[in-house]
Amino acid sequence: MTPLLADVIGLIGSALFISAFAYANVVKTLDKVLFNLANLVGAILLLISLSVHFNLAAFVLETAWGAVAAVGLVVALRAKWRKPPA
């Protein structure tokens, strides 16, 4: 992977994080599936970027962020599947 491609992938991941954060702060009812999915994909994209431009602190942060988002996504999906149709 070229350094430029790694930068583009990392910037897309960053844009997902920022978008998810902005979304969480403007909506009345948070769609936890969408929120956690955006955070998980953002973390994965940044980890891909870090495979070219490694930084230990960023790697630890993105790994933790991705793990929290993955757990949150599973919890949100389980809650959505258990909820009876309205």
What are the pLDDT tens digits along the chain (86 aa)?
999 999 999 999 999 999 999 999 999 999 999 999 999 999 999 999 999 999 999 999 999 999 999 999 999 999 989 877 66
Distance CA 44, CA 56 (A): 15
| DSSP secondary structure string for all residues of 29-86 | S--HHHHHHHHHHHHHHHHHHHTTS--HHHHHHHHHHHHHHHHHHHHHHHHHHHSPP-
Q: 0.85 exceeded by the pTM?
A: yes
Question: Which residues, in sequence order, are CB contacts of 12 under 8 Å at separation 6+?
Answer: 45
